[in-house]
Structures are given as C-alpha cells and as structure tokens.
Amino acid sequence: MLEKALKGSKTYWIWLLALAVVIAIGFLFYLRQLDFGLGITGMSRDVSWGFYIAQFTFLVGVAASAVMLVLPYYLHDYKTFGKITVIGEFLAVSSVLMCMLFIIVDLGQPMRLLNVIFYPTPNSMLFWDMIVLNGYLFLNIVIGWNVLDAERNGTAPEKWIKPLIYLSIPWAVSIHTVTAFLYCGLPGRGFWLTAVLAPRFLASAFAAGPAFLILLTFIIRKFTKFDAGKQAVQTLAKIVCYAVIANLFFFLCEVFVAIYSQIPEHMAHLQYLFFGMHGHDALVPWMWSSMALMVVAVILLIIPSARRNETTLIFACIFVFIGTWIDKGLGMISGGFVPNPLHEVNEYIPSIQEIIITLGVYATGLLVLTILYKVVTGIKEELAG
C-alpha cells in the first residue's frame, strides 16, 4: 500500500520537501543541544520541564482522540464514521510518534533511554507511560493498516483485529490518564495535585483532537477526491462542542476549589497564570486568550446555524485547537512550576533553539501524517474510481 505515497502531485512533493527542510533544521539544533546540554533551552532548576514536555502532554490528547471515531463506529455501529476511523487512527500514530520524540529530546542523557527497560520500575508513572504509549502506537498502526488493506481488497478485516480494536478504546483513555498521573501524583505541586486533572486532560483531548480532525478532513477534501461527508463532520463538531464545554467546566471547578478555599499553594499558580506574580506575567495574555478562544468556540459550535456553516465551523475548530494548545502546551506545565516549592517566582520563557527543535518534531509528525494520509486517500480514490 505504501506505493501510494510515492506518486503525488507537485504540491505534495513541495510540501514534503518543506517539511524535510524544517526537520533538518530542527535536527541540526538538536545536535547542538546534544553537544551543549539542555542548557540551550529556557528551562532552569525551578522550571525543570518546559516546552517539550508541554507539547508531549498536548499531543497525547490529540492521539487519544482517535477513540472518538472508533468508539461510535465499533461499539454503536455509527456507520457515518466508518469511512474515517482510519483517519483518526493514523492521526493517533503520528501524534504518539511526536510524543515519543518530545520525550527523547527532553532527556538529559537520551542514549540511556533503554535504562527504563533495563531497570523496570513499576512505581514510576513514567514506566507506565512508556508502556501505554508504545502499546497505543502499535495498536493503531496494526488496526489502521489492516482495516485499510481489507477495505482495498474488498474483504472483511482479519478476525483477530476485532479484539485489538476493542482493546484500543480503553487504551486511548489510559494514555491520557497515565499522562495526567505523571503530574497529579506529585505531593508538592499544588497546581497539578487534583483528581480532576485526568478527566480535564481527556476533555481537552476530545476537544482538540476532533477539532483538528475536522480541519484535516477539509484539507483532505481540498487536495484529494476523498470527502469525509457532511454528517461525519457535523457529528465531530458536536463532540468538539461538548468536550470544550466539559473542559471549561472542569477548569472552573478547579478555579472554584482554589479560590474559594483560599489555600495559597493551590491559588498561587492560577494567580501567576492569569494575573501574574511579582511582576512576572509573560503568560497572562496567553491564558486569557485561551479562555476567550474556547468560550467563543463554544458559542459558535452550539448555535446550529453557525455549526453548519463551514466557514464558522473552521474558525471554531481553529479557536478550539489554539485555545486548548495554549491551555496545555503553554500554561499547564510551566504554570505548575511557578511559583517553585520555596514559593519563589522564576519564570520560564522558551528559547529560540527550543522552539526550533519543537518545530522539527512537529514537522516529523506532519511528514508521517502526510504519508499515511496519502496512502489512505490514494486507496479511497482507487476504490471510488
């Protein structure tokens, strides 16, 4: 099937080339980081996780969102999604791949990565994260590839695929739950120390992922003959709508607990993120933008006429994606580190090099996604033609 990715228009090849250039530049900067150390980033002993881990957290959510297509189709026989489950699964593949790359670029000693396997430590949440992420990658490659192959041959998928599909549903929930457990089980970090973190992660995941999927279906329709169909997109839009609402709701629950209880350790981080602290306020405009974007998106998605209008829907999806990205990819991680355990404020600003390496990882994910989608659309076009 991979041969489908070898034939494409000029635009396709230019796009791949552009991605390759970004990857190459990112890689060069990564070599610099390998040589010098993580000191080229903006991280410090106070904010010891930064942009990389934040992107990892955000993308775990995008990966988990594939379940929003798989579950309705396989458990509720919602046929409209039948055409596009593989689109979701391949988005999961490329997202998990990016997650892993972000973990690797964040390691101080990446060549020792296998120590996690040589000295397995079940009491560490990172150990479990490794297992669930690898498992999820494996599940989605195997399922997506086999189902697509069967579709091409006009046969039913192999029998042994079914149990894997059912397994992939709770597995999707597990990847984001374990990722939340990385943070919410740490005793000294008031911002993360909340049972609602995993549910909130899932809610924002099921908003960001499907919103991105909607945008992807529009892009695919523009460049290929494959159309996901109006109804599939509309159902996804409703999923996005309620997931954003759930995300905002969970967030407000947290705000209430922190502010009403007036416990400084819990309040301080929100205060830093939304109002700034001791003159440090780099994230303030971002956080308010994030909230505004999500609220506007909810309004656009909840009004039926706005949701059905493709232009407003595209805007709503972009708002959701950017809003949840700021929330998780910018505020969530560094917000938990400021103020530090000694209640000192040392702010984190990502360095240029760090951002370039990040873009390199994103380009790698997009490259894989493009190739996988090229295969999918090639086969769909072949079947239609």
Residues near another protein, by CB under 8 A:
36-39, 41-46, 48-49, 103, 106-110, 112-113, 115-116, 118-119, 121, 123-127, 130, 182-183, 186-189, 264-265, 281-286, 288-289, 292-293, 296, 315, 318-319, 322, 326, 336-337, 340-344, 346-347, 349, 351-352
Q: How far is the CB of 127 from another protein (least distance, A)?
A: 5
Q: How far is the CB of 280 from another protein (least distance, A)?
A: 9
Given the complex with another protein, which of 75 and 107 has the nearer CB atom? 107
Q: How far is the CB of 227 from another protein (least distance, A)?
A: 25
DSSP state letters, 216-260: HHHHHHHHSS----HHHHHHHHHHHHHHHHHHHHHHHHHHHHHHH
Determine the residue type at 311.
Answer: T
For 233-260, b where at least 16 C-beta lie within 10 A, e where not — what string? bbbbbebbbebbbbbbebbeebeeebee
Given the complex with another protein, which of 118 and 160 has the nearer CB atom? 118
Q: How far is the CB of 123 from another protein (least distance, A)?
A: 5
Q: Which helix (H) or strand (E) holds 295?
A: helix 284-302
Given the complex with another protein, which of 337 and 373 has the nearer CB atom? 337
Given the complex with another protein, which of 44 and 370 has the nearer CB atom? 44
Taking each helix axis as running N to C, give the angle between helix 352-384 and helix 10-36, from 0 to 180 degrees, rounded to the nearest 10: 150
Q: How far is the CB of 73 from another protein (least distance, A)?
A: 32
| C-alpha pair distances (Å), 202 with each of 23, 168, 349 | 29, 15, 27
Distance CA 368, CA 147 (A): 19
| C-alpha pair distances (Å), 357 with each of 53, 87, 96, 291 | 13, 27, 17, 27
Other CB atoms within 10 Å distance of the CB of residue 40: 18
Given the complex with another protein, which of 184 and 232 has the nearer CB atom? 184
Given the complex with another protein, which of 89 and 347 has the nearer CB atom? 347
Q: What angle do CA 112, 117, 121 make, to 5 degrees?
A: 110
Nearest alpha-carbon partner for 168 in 134, 135, 126: 135
Given the complex with another protein, which of 153 and 311 has the nearer CB atom? 311
Q: How far is the CB of 86 from another protein (least distance, A)?
A: 29
Q: How far is the CB of 306 from another protein (least distance, A)?
A: 14
Given the complex with another protein, which of 163 and 279 has the nearer CB atom? 279
Other CB atoms within 10 Å distance of the CB of residue 107: 13
Q: How far is the CB of 187 from another protein (least distance, A)?
A: 4
